[in-house]
Amino acid sequence: MSVSQAASLISTLNKLHEFLAQKNCRAYIVGGFIRDWFSGKQSNDVDIAVEGNALSIADEVSKNFNGRFVLLDEVNGIARVIIDKEHERHFDFCSFSGNIESDLVQRDFTIDAMAVELGQLTEASQLNPLDPFHGRKDLENKVIRAVSDQVFANDAVRLLRGVRLAAEFDFTIEPTTETLIRLHCKSIAEVANERVREELLRLFNLPHTAYYLHYLDKLGLLTAVVPELAESKGVEQPTAHFWDVFEHSRQTVACAEFLIRENTWAYGNEEMLATTPWSDIIEAHLSQEVSGGSNRKSLLKLGALFHDIAKPKTKTLDDTGRARFLGHTKEGATMTASILERLRFSHREIDLVEKLVYHHLRPAQMSNEGLPTQRAIYRYFRDTGDAGIDILFLALADYLASRGPLVNMEAWRKNCQLANYVLMEHGKQQSRTAPLKFIDGNDIMKTFYLTSGPLIGKLLAMVHEAQASGEISNKEEALALVQNILKKKTIN
C-alpha cells in the first residue's frame, strides 16, 4: 500500500472512530487487515467488531458516509459497507459483547485473532495489538493454526478460508488444524452459497489453483462443495488419455495455468510455451473482469475443472469395449450451469463457463485435416462470441492434460498451429467487416421488393459471413450474393 493510500485509509478509519464514539459504540479493527498490515500487504478490506447490533450500525455508517450497504450474513449478523468508490474499500461489521477478548476467541485462525482499537491505527511499527493466541509468531513462522477446536463448528466457511489463506500467503496448515478440517469437511454444505463462491473465486484467482484443488480433495472439501465431481473419480478413459476423468480435469486446470503463464506444469517445457498463442492482446483479453471477484483467467480454470463433468453420466462402451462419452459437452454445460447457479455465480460468469464446457471440443472439430476454412473460422466465433479465445486455450489445455507425460511435440505443434491460424484469420475477418458494411436491410428490401421480417436478418447474416470470409468485397457483389441466394432458395 502506498503512503498516500495508507494515509487516506487511516483518515477514513479515524472518521469512522469519531462517528461511532459519538454513539458510545466501542469498535476494534480485527482479523485479516491487521495480519496484512504486519505483512506489508495492501488491503482495502477492513473487519470491524462493534459493541451492539452490527447490522444496524453498518446501515447507519453507509448512510452517513455515502456508502453502499451489503448484507453478507443475516444469521451471524455480518454486513459490509463499501466506502470510497475510487479505492473500493470494504468495511465488514460484526458484533461483540462483553470484551474484545471474548470476540477474538471466537475467530478462526491465530493470525486473524489480533485486534487494534479503532482510531489507534498509525504505522505498523507502532502497533501493539491484542494478541492472546500469538498470531504474530505464527505469522512469522508462516503457519495457519486454528484458534480452537470449535472454529469450524462455529462457522464452516473457515474450512475453505484456511486453505485459501495458505494459498495466498504460501503458508502451511499445521497438522492439528488439518485434522479438524477433515473432521468437519462435510459441514461446508451448510454454508451460504454466496460465501462459498467468494472463497472459491479467491482461490481460483491465485496462480497455484490446481495444486490447491488437489489439497482440497485430500481434505475432503472439493467434493463436499461440488459432489458432482466425486462421480468422475476412477472413471477410465480411452488409451489416448493418461489419467482418469477426475485427475484429467485437475490436470487441465494445471495446464491452463501453464499456458496463460501463471505457473509451471510438471510435464511442460519452454518449447511448448514458445509455440502457444500469446500476445499483449490475449493477455489483456484474459485479464478482463467478468463479475465481482472473477476475471477470464479464473473462469477459464473453472471451465477446465468442469469441462468433463458429464463424462461419468454419458459413458458407454462400443462393440470393441472402447469408452465413449457422446453428448458429454452438452450435458456438461447443463450440469455446469446448475452447479454455478447453486453456488450463486452471476449470469455473466455462468454464461462464460457454460460456453467453455459446451464448446471445448469445437476447435479440434473445425477441420478434418489441414487448416479450417474461412467460413469455419467465422462460424466458430459467431457461435462462441467473446468466449472464442478462451475456448481455444481450454482446448489446448485439454489436449496437454489428456496426454500428460506422453505429450507428442509434433502433435502439440500442430494444435498450436491451428490455434494461431484461427486467431490470425479471425483478426483479418474482423478488419474486413468492421466498421464497413456493404449493404443493410433497406438495400435488400428496396432492391428485391421484400418486406421487413426474419428473412432480411438471415440474408444479412449470410452476407456478413461472406464478407468476413473474403468472398465478396463491395456492395454490388453483396447484392449479387443475395440475388443468388433468393434464386436458389438456399436459406433456411
Distance CA 359, CA 260 (A): 19
The reported pLDDT for the residue numbered 369 is: 76
Q: Return the DSSP state at 187.
A: G
Q: If residue 58 lies in a helix (H) or strand (E), which one and from where to where?
A: helix 54-64
The reported pLDDT for the residue numbered 2 is: 56
Q: Are 187 and 196 in contact (CB under 8 A)?
A: no
Distance CA 25, CA 52 (A): 7
For the CA atoms of 22, 131, 165, 230, the dihedral, rounded to the nearest 10 degrees, stands at -100
Distance CA 476, CA 296 (A): 41
Cell, residue 403? 496426454
Taking residue 269's Cβ as centre, other Cβ atoms within 10 Å add up to 12
User: Which regions in the chain score pLDDT beneath 50?
Assistant: 124-125
Q: Cell 500442430 maps to which residue? A: 414
The reported pLDDT for the residue numbered 143 is: 98
Q: Are 68 and 82 in contact (CB under 8 A)?
A: yes
Q: Cell 496462480 maps to which residue? A: 207
The reported pLDDT for the residue numbered 4 is: 64
pLDDT in tens, 84-140: 766 678 899 999 888 888 889 988 999 999 999 888 876 544 678 899 999 999 999
The reported pLDDT for the residue numbered 195 is: 92
The reported pLDDT for the residue numbered 5 is: 65
47: left (phi over 0), alpha (psi -120 to 50) or beta: beta
The reported pLDDT for the residue numbered 166 is: 97
Q: Cell 496463460 maps to which residue? A: 260
Q: Which of 129, 165, 128 is nearest to 145 (CA)?
A: 165
* pTM listed for this prediction: 0.83
* Cα distances (Å, whole numbers) of residue 76 to 55, 127, 232: 10, 29, 35
Q: Is 47 helix (H, G, I), strand (E, B) or coil?
A: strand
CA atoms within 13 A on the CB side of 231: 14
Taking residue 291's Cβ as centre, other Cβ atoms within 10 Å add up to 15
Q: Return the DSSP state at 25.
A: -
* Cα distances (Å, whole numbers) of residue 330 to 235, 309, 350: 19, 11, 14
Distance CA 337, CA 344 (A): 10
Q: Cell 468466449 maps to which residue? A: 387
Distance CA 13, CA 401 (A): 49
The reported pLDDT for the residue numbered 126 is: 66
Cell, residue 63? 448512510
Distance CA 158, CA 226 (A): 17
Distance CA 263, CA 212 (A): 13
The beta-strand segments (E) located in 52-204 are: 68-73, 78-83, 89-96, 115-117, 143-144, 172-173
The DSSP-derived string for 383-440 is HHGGGHHHHHHHHHHHHHHHHGGG--HHHHHHHHHHHHHHHHHHHHHHHHHSS--S--
| Contacts of residue 326, Cβ cutoff 8 Å, sequence gap at least 6 | 314, 316
